[in-house]
A and B are shown apart, each in its own frame.
Chain A
Amino acid sequence: MNTRYGMVIDVDRCTGCGACMIACAAENNVPPAAERATPRTGITPMLVHTVSNGMEGSLKREAFLPVACMQCENETPCVKVCPQQAVEVDASTGIVMQMPQRCLGCRYCMTACPYHARYFNWWDPAWPAGMEKSLNPGVAVRMRGVVEKCNLCHARLHAAQEKAAAAGKREIDPRDYVPACVEACPTGAITFGSLADENCAAARAARSPEAFRLLARLGTEPKVYYRSARAWVRALAEPRNETRRKEVQRG
């Protein structure tokens, strides 16, 4: 059966601790920041944004929104624009696979991504002496000048597939394939699974009336859903609206 891996992130359970960000970086051999790195030049395949309802003082409410590659299913923007097919949608899993080894570093995909979920290696990766012993052997280390992004911990899928093959099975055990961010989240805010499997928890959560996707109207059909009981959080699905923001602040 074709799987369509996706996630449902429960915004009401996200505490903004950042465990997902660090676990993701550790799993994917992302180097620590270069000295001059900033929030706009760092590499954070999983990035937690702090969002607010736009009010001030005691009316201010905040929430935390983890954003990684949305694994767009339809007219995947980055796939369409890459001049040398360094990114493709894996037909059997739905994962948008980035191949840094083929990337030219033209960064066209980064301008195309509506979710800003792609990161460029502005520096060569560097670890202090000896720290390379702590690198995850399942993931290739990138070099500078290439783009990278969340691959839904594809190395873990690969390991799960190997394990299933060694046991003579065709399908992997879902418990063997858990991306690092999902595993790390202390509140279990991220539900991961195949959205094509109706019985899967992720698919059921995605069908909830409180579920929403960011910029859904662009038509990219992201496979990362969010969920919140709070209306102002669900309103974040829509694009930024300065006019509305000023209205809300004024009165």
Chain B
Amino acid sequence: MEFTRRDLLTWGSGITAGLVLTPVPWKLLDDTSIWTQNWPWIPQPARGPVEVKNSFCALCPNGCGMRVRMAAGWPVGISGMQHHPVNRGALCPLGFGAHQLNWHPRRLRQVGHQGRACSWSDALAAFRKACAEGPVAIIDGYPDRAASAICHGFARRHGSYRVALRAEQRALLPYEKWSGVPAAALGYDLENTGTILSFGAPLLDGWSAPGRFARLWSVRGAGSADSQLRLIQVEAAPSHTAACAWRWVPIMPGSDAALAAGIALVLHEEHRTAPNAPVPSTTLADAAARTGLSVDAIRDLARLLCEHGPALAISAQPNPAVAALNVALGAIGTRGGIVRRGRRTEPLAAADTLPSHLRAVLVDASVPADFLASTEAEIFRFAAWEGSAGRNDWLLPAPGFLEELTDIPTAPLSSIETYAVAPPLSKPPAEVKSAAQFLMAVDSSIPDVEKIIHARCRQLFQSRAGHLQGEELAAAAPPESAQAFEKQLWSGAVWVGDPPHFGGIPCRLTAWPQSAAPVARAGWTAAWPAPVLPPLATKLYQESSLREPPERRAI
């Protein structure tokens, strides 16, 4: 029996009509919608209990308090901790994407020596050998932690301890030079300042603990002609801070010191300077010429500083002229000015100059990625991600974000002392080791981080100083025992020291300082210490025009 064209047509139309009457085509159609929603290559979030825990960011020394949402045991969201006295619930923009850093494709997972893969035992052997052969330097980026005590302890026996200071910490060095009070013991009493004269400091855009000034300014300084806190931004080009400032004063690039001198001159002429303040040797006309401002404009600025006090001058980079202006304004050791917090007497040794004839240098992961050790010694660089600058003979994978227990000492530049404990919230990869753990493996007499933290908590409790601040603590009575005190700290409370006392900074500046060479303005990612940006940072520069493309890649 042959199959004719007629049969084809008959059967064809019959089958088509029949199929339409069955559920088959309709089910297939419905299935397509399910397929298109669940393709296997679309990642699904983990299912699991969701809880919120407190911790603190240790990526930079500001130690901002965070609330971390956890799902199935991993951090899935970050928000600010409202009760933290320094950042008050605010975080830096990049911090909101920090929980994704640990899976960054440039995460370091393997010990490397000059490009070759090695093991931890190789690195330990090399470091032990180096310690035996000569002095080593340990460079720390986040001093005063328990891990820092380990580094310091090790360095006392085997070499020297140095700290890689951030620009904003260095800006306090002139006061250390003139008063002998360590810069690390100084802070700005911004909460009581009336007028801030900022010399290019990105106060609203990545300076100090970003949340601190942002919150303060929002309450006292933003959006009204008659602000309680007046921010005068002195800057050549309009920045984000300049756009929001109460007044923006554009000056010629690099003329900050000249302006500071000019204002000090006016204050001196009008007899408004602090007693014994040095007088600049320059003239007002000279200052006007260098800055591009008129003489009247400089006089006006000086008047503004006196009109709505207390006044404080802040520069982003160390600038002795700006520091001298603070002396002239009487802002040293006074309310709303530079204040002393804590009882530290030893200054931090900066890592800018390292001893010569070093055998090896160990750089902690907390040291910013752009740090360059000026040394010929063998460098053991700890980092959680690739991309640290300079020649790093050994690249050692360190714990990443929220992956290790640490404590959070007082934030730089704050006017009060604080202390907190940041428990790890993310399981670190098996291959990572912190510098402190590494040093403990070399010198087993060193106590571990947890023991040091316990000791510190006990010490704080016994000192009876300050108080604890936390969400659940508002109504509760202060803890009765050291254990209860420590338990609070481990669950996210912050110990806050006594309010700053004024005075105590004897300033012996007699002559107006020589001005330092102007430093180029830092980009918007300068304050971010890790070698890589959080992947979501692309929202800010690649997927929008809000920011310039940074040198460091996000992903």
State whether the Cβ of A83 lies closer than 8 Å to any Cβ in chain B. Answer: no
The stretch from A8-16, A165-173, A196-204, A216-224 touching chain B is A8-16
Chain A residue numbers with a CB within 8 Å of B526 are none
Chain B residue numbers with a CB within 8 Å of A62 are 238, 243
Q: Decide yes or no: A42 and B214 within 8 Å by CB, A22-B536, A26-B536, A229-B224 being known contacts.
A: no
Do B244 and A228 touch (CB < 8 A)? no
Q: Of A21, A138, A186, which one neighbours B544 at CB under 8 angstroms?
A: A21
State whether the Cβ of B113 lies closer than 8 Å to any Cβ in chain A. Answer: no
State whether the Cβ of A101 lies closer than 8 Å to any Cβ in chain B. Answer: yes
Chain B residue numbers with a CB within 8 Å of A13 are 218, 222-223, 244
Least Cβ–Cβ distance between A112 and chain B, in angstroms: 22
* Contact bitstring A115-145, B, C-beta under 8 A = 1, else 0: 0000000001101111111111111011100
Q: Decide yes or no: A133 and B546 within 8 Å by CB, A29-B45, A143-B37 being known contacts.
A: no
Least Cβ–Cβ distance between A182 and chain B, in angstroms: 10
State whether the Cβ of B375 lies closer than 8 Å to any Cβ in chain A. Answer: no
A157 and B81 alpha carbons, distance in the complex (Å): 21
- B543 to chain A: closest residue by CB: A42
| Interface residues of B, count at CB 8 A | 70
Do A135 and B46 touch (CB < 8 A)? yes
State whether the Cβ of A174 lies closer than 8 Å to any Cβ in chain B. Answer: no
* Contact bitstring A191-212, B, C-beta under 8 A = 1, else 0: 0000000000000000000000
Chain A residue numbers with a CB within 8 Å of B540 are 18, 21-22
Do B536 and A32 touch (CB < 8 A)? yes
Residues facing A in B488-505 (CB within 8 A) are: none
State whether the Cβ of A188 lies closer than 8 Å to any Cβ in chain B. Answer: yes
The stretch from B94-102, B163-171, B443-451 touching chain A is B94-102
A74 and B86 alpha carbons, distance in the complex (Å): 43
Chain B residue numbers with a CB within 8 Å of A186 are 80, 90-91, 210-211, 214-215, 218
Do A26 and B78 touch (CB < 8 A)? yes
A129 and B102 alpha carbons, distance in the complex (Å): 11
A90 and B48 alpha carbons, distance in the complex (Å): 28
Chain A residue numbers with a CB within 8 Å of B90 are 19, 185-187
Chain A residue numbers with a CB within 8 Å of B50 are 137-138
Do B103 and A133 touch (CB < 8 A)? yes
A63 and B239 alpha carbons, distance in the complex (Å): 10
A64 and B47 alpha carbons, distance in the complex (Å): 38
A189 and B217 alpha carbons, distance in the complex (Å): 11
Chain A residue numbers with a CB within 8 Å of B215 are 186-188
Do A23 and B96 touch (CB < 8 A)? yes
Do A27 and B244 touch (CB < 8 A)? no
Least Cβ–Cβ distance between A62 and chain B, in angstroms: 4
List 5 contacting pairs A-B, 8 Å CB cutoff, sorted by A: A21-B539, A33-B554, A58-B250, A132-B43, A133-B76
Q: Which residues of B contact A (CB under 8 A)?
A: 33, 36-37, 39, 41-48, 50, 69, 71-72, 74-80, 90-97, 99-100, 103-105, 204-206, 210-211, 214-215, 217-218, 222-225, 238, 240-241, 243-244, 250, 534-540, 542-547, 554-555
